Amino acid sequence: MAKYFKISEFDCKCGCGKNNIDDELVKKLDRVREKAGIPIVVSSGCRCEKHNKEEGGEENSAHLSGLAVDMKAISSGTRWKLMEALFTTGFNRIGMGKTFIHADIDIAKSEKVMWLY
């Protein structure tokens, strides 16, 4: 199980109870937390289809299959630490928002990509 996370942190935020978070994703996030040396706040983990639409998520979002996480990243220092840790732990699908960083391990999608929201 996770060292730094409660599995409930990845529950769908709409309250439906969906939580199909991938074990490998959580293990990688534990390594990110170790390397970054700062707490990680999960702002979005698993999503049901309804909540994904409400969030403006893609129809085939990795959040639906438990392969993605959004982490709060409000300050530039937090963004730097998380990005550095994500790269060094092998994440290769990363999205940057103004207040969060998305990371996923969906192998059905393009690798070595980074995008802005």
pLDDT tens figures, 14-53: 999 999 999 999 999 999 999 999 999 999 999 999 999 9
Q: Which pTM does this prediction carry? A: 0.96
For the stretch 68-98, pLDDT in tens is 999 999 999 999 999 999 999 999 999 999 9
Sheet of strand 42-44, all strands in order from the earlier edge strand to the far edge: 42-44, 68-72, 100-104, 93-96, 113-116
10-116 maps to CATH 3.40.50.170: no
10 CB-near residues (< 8 Å, 6+ apart): 19, 21, 26, 42, 45, 46, 66, 69
Helical packing angle, 23-36 and 76-88, nearest 10°: 120
Per-residue model confidence (pLDDT) at position 40? 98
Per-residue model confidence (pLDDT) at position 1? 75
